[in-house]
Amino acid sequence: MLDVVACVGSFTAVISIFPQIIQSYRTKSVKDISMLMLLNLTISSISWTLYGMMTSDKPLLLTNLLLTIGSLIMVRLKWKYRS
């Protein structure tokens, strides 16, 4: 049961940012997205990725590596489409 909960949590965490990436890319609008939130998410996911590497926790590493990529994409979109 613990593995199922971990998989659901990891999957939903990873996919949570992708609808925002798609919406931002399609509309070229990021005015309602907080750069502070994006930077916080990026720093947090990088930290958890490093922790996953140091502890050899592959699920934690993979989940947060994907979140890092997603958050960096959003930071780039925020920078590119800023008003």
Domains and CATH numbers, the chain: 2-80 (1.20.1280.290)
Q: pLDDT at position 2, please?
A: 81
- The sign of the CA dihedral 22, 27, 33, 37 is positive
pTM: 0.86
Query: Per residue in 18-68, pLDDT tens?
Result: 999 999 999 999 999 999 999 999 999 999 999 999 999 888 899 999 999
Question: Tokens 């990725």 map to which residue?
Answer: 49
CA distance 35 to 81: 12
Q: Is the pLDDT of residue 3 over 80?
A: no
